[in-house]
Structure formats: structure tokens, C-alpha cells
Amino acid sequence: MFAQVAFSWDWDYALDTLPKIARGLWQTVVATIVGISIGMVLGLVLALLRRSRHRIIRWPTIALIEFVRSTPLLVQLFFIFYVLPNFGVVLSPFVALVLGLGIHYGTYTSESYRAGIENVEVGQWEAATALNLSAATTWSRIVLPQAIPTVIPALGNYLVAMFKDAPLGFAIAAGGILLEAQAEASRSFRPMEPYTIMGVLFLAVSIPAAFFVRYLERRYGYERV
Amino acid sequence: MLSANQIQALLEGVSLTLRVFALAAVLGTVLALLFGIASLSDNRVLRWVSRIYVEVARGASAVVLLFYAAFAVPILLGVRSGRSFVFWAAVVALGVNMGGYGAEVVRTGIQSVPRGQTEAAISLNLRFIDRLRHVTLPQALVVMLPPYGNLSIEVLKATALVSLVGLADLTAEAQNLRVQRAVSGPRAATSLAIFGTALVFYFVMAQLLALLFRWLEQRLAGDWYRGRS
């Protein structure tokens, strides 16, 4: 079972490959930032559609949110990248990745926005009505400014979660830390160094990020939904 | 539409997906209980070990753990990697990842039980393990079940990652079908049917899991109502 050759760690090779994997990490970070931006906007739209008075809008929105939430991001990425071109939508791997991340996490953030909106007191709505504010003004000046700050720590959580999913761009050749590490490993036949560097670099970003989000949670006195 | 053979191939993928999920969920639950309880220990070393485990298991992400387990660990151990090694590596990677999240669920669940319960159990001279078994854990379970159900669905979704390290799960079978169509088929319009069906299969599995947890929650609530624990 155990081979006699012990593994060896080659520092020269590790230092040689480090910049490439670090570049991959940067691509993953960029994809995460673009992805969360899409997810935050889409989530708000979904949350508002879900509150629509019309069943024709409300029900399909609920169904879409439920479906996207309970299916794997990886298959959704394949869907976007391989199925949409048959319908004339050809996307670059990077765009497909950030769109996939944005849609997947948009369904998550929409639930946080919903909780945030529902937490705005009824009296605020009544006051807006009493002041004869239009629906647009009520939302943009009264409800959302109170709802969104309470959602910020939840969005932070999804930012960290998305960072952990962003390496999946590997599957559609969209670049990123996993693609770089895998390319290095298969080029050199030395998987040990690239994958270890990937793990260490990844933790070096995700653990501080998680601590920062927990600090935000304490600071804003937010309770996990 | 998909042929019977194609459906058959997807269903074989479902079977591997379910096996990976079930084994990872068992491992994840054991780790969650161990580290969740250890994180509340009086022993500082135990607390630190479980803290580090939770941070690393969650922070490294399922996909990074998976690739490390499948490709770096065999070299670390000096073993020859094969299909069955990759299968167990995938189970361990997903289980360890789930355990990190699960330990936090267990910890917050136990912490939600009022202190007086533990104090009463101590004054009744119950041993640590009996306090957990008969007093704190049964009460914590009510709080733990809903987040644990969500976590299980996340793990089910994460099993799709094993297709990236060469296991023939539902996602991999769907990919195979797509590639075959691209080679032989007239037009890849069926890729919609292939990935659509795969998504529906995942959706159905996730809904069944959600139903199972809802049933467990109701059953537990019933037990409470009848005064058992």
C-alpha cells in the first residue's frame, strides 16, 4: 500500500509557481467582486418582484428562487455556458461565471432583502401613506434606506461564500486559482506544491474575510436568518 | 428529448451522487458533533483545536479541499491513487467541509439551551455524557434541525463538484452526454434537455431532503408535546 518514495517538497519549484497561482487568486477575487455586484442588484429586484401584488409575477419569482437555490451552481454554470449558445446567447467563460455566481447568489440575497424589508415597521409605511408619498418615494426614501443597512452583514456572508464558489470557473475555463493550480500540476507532474499553495493562499483570504464579516455582524447587531 | 439510454445514464449518476452525499453526510455529522461539543469544553486546548478545525474546514472551501484530497493527499501519504481512492477522498473532503459548518450549528444549538438545564443536570449528579444525551442535546435538536436541513441541501449541491475530479456522478454523466452529442448528434439542441433534466433531478432530491427534515421537525415537536424527549 505505502510506496517507499516519500514525497518531497521543492522550494525552488514552489516559489517559481507561486506568482502564477497568486495571479489566479486575483482572477478569482475579481470574479467574486463582479459576481456579488450582480447578485446584490438581482437579489433586490427578486425581493421586490416577490412582493408584487400580482400572482403572475409573484409565483414564478418564488419558483425561480426555490429552483436556483436548490440546484448546484456547477450545473447552472454548464447550463449558461453550453445551453444558452444554442439559443444565440454566446458568453465568454468569464461572463458566464460572473453571471452564474450573480444569479445563484441573487436568489440567496433576495431572501435577506426580504427579511430586511419585512423588518421595517408598519408605522413607517403608514406614515409614508399619510404624507401622501408616491410608491417610488416610499421605497427609495423610507423603506429601502432602513432595510438595506440591516442586510449588509448577510451580504458579507454571501460575499465570503461566493469567494469559495468562484474557483468553479475552472469547469468552464474561466480562469481563477483552481485553473492555475491545476494547469501547473499537470504541466510539472508535481501536484503537491501548486495545490498546497492554492490551499494556503485561499485560507489567507477567506479566514480574515470571515472574521471581518463576523465583526460586521457584532457591530450591526444582526441576527442570522 | 432524451432517450431511455440517456435517462439510464443520468440515473446511474444519481446513484453515485446519493452514495457520496450519504457517506459525506454521516462523516460530516460525526465531525459536527465531535467538534461542536469540543468547542464548548472547559479544556482550552480542545476549544482551540475545534476553533482551528472549523475555520480551516469552512475557509478552505469544498472545492479546494476536494482537489487537495484527491491529488495532493495521495502523494503526502505515498499511496497510489485510483478510482476508489478518489471516491473516498471526495467523501472525506465533503464530510470535513460539512463538519466545519455543522460544528457551528451544534455549538449554537447547545448554547441555546438555558443554562439552568445544565446546572440542574449537574446538581442531579449526571455525568458529562449523560447531561449531553438526556438533557442538552435533545433540547438543542429542536434549534439545530432547521439549519441542519439547509446544510444538508448545501452538501447535496456540493456533491456536483466530485465530477471535476473524475467521478461519474449526475453532473459528470450530464457532461458525458453533452460531449457525445457534440460528436455524433446533428445539433446540440438536446443539451437543453440534458442539463435541464440534471437540474430537475437535483431539485427533486433537494426537495425530498427538505421534506425529510420538515417531517423530522414535526415528529420532534410531537414528541415534545407528548412530553418525551
For the segment B92-103, the average pLDDT, to the nearest whole number, is: 97
Please check the confidence at residue B127 and state whether its pLDDT lies above 90: no
Whether the CB of A65 is below 8 Å from some CB of chain B: the reply is: no
Q: Are the beta carbons of A199 and B157 separated by less than 8 Å?
A: no
B102 within 8 A of B36, measured Cβ to Cβ: yes
B123: closest CA of chain A, how far (Å):
33
Provide the residue ranges of all domains of chain A, joining segments of one domain with +: 11-220
Note the CATH number of domain A11-220: 1.10.3720.10
A198 CB neighbours in chain B (<8 A) are 64, 67-68
Exposure on the CB side of residue B47, measured as CA atoms within 13 A: 5
pLDDT for A35 equals: 97
At residue A1, the pLDDT reads 42
Across all residues in chain B, what is the average pLDDT? 91
Grid cell 467563460 in the structure block, residue: A93
Residues A206, B56: C-beta atoms closer than 8 Å: no
Model pLDDT, residue B226: 62
Report the pLDDT value the prediction gives residue A4, as an integer from 0 to 100.
45
| Mean pLDDT, rounded, for A71-93 | 94
Measure CB to CB from residue A74 to each of B71, B160, B187 and give the nearest one.
Answer: B160
What is the average per-residue pLDDT within B125-137?
A: 88
Please name the residues in contact with B216: beta carbons below 8 A apart, sequence gap of 6 or more.
B145, B149
Decide if pLDDT at A109 tops 70.
Answer: yes
**What confidence tens digit (pLDDT) does each residue in B41-97 have?**
889 999 999 999 999 999 999 999 999 999 999 888 888 878 899 999 999 999 999
Decide if pLDDT at A166 tops 80.
Answer: yes
- pLDDT band (50, 70, 90) for residue B5: confident
Between B203 and A217, the higher pLDDT residue: B203
Chain A nearest C-alpha distance from B2 (Å): 15
C-alpha–C-alpha distance, residues B146 and B158, integer Å: 19
User: Residue A225's pLDDT is what?
Assistant: 42
Mutate to test the interface with B, among A28, A29, A73, A74 (most CBs of B within 10 A): A74
CA distance B194 to chain A (A): 9
Mean pLDDT over residues B191-205, rounded?
95
Contact assessment for residue A24 and residue A179, using Cβ atoms and an 8 Å cutoff:
yes
Q: What pTM, to 2 d.p., does this model score?
A: 0.91
* CB spacing of A79 vs B195 below 8 angstroms: yes
Confirm if B21 and B154 have CB atoms less than 8 A apart. no
Is the per-residue pLDDT at B136 higher than 50? yes
The ipTM assigned to this model is 0.91
**Does the pLDDT of residue A195 top 60, yes or no?**
yes
User: Which structural domains are found in chain B, ordered by start?
Assistant: 4-225 (1.10.3720.10)
Please, which residues have CB within 8 angstroms of residue B57's CB and are 6 or more apart in sequence?
B31, B65, B96, B97, B99, B100, B101
Which whole number is the average pLDDT over A17-43? 96
Q: Which residue has the higher pLDDT, A6 or B160?
A: B160
Q: What's the DSSP call for residue B164? A: G
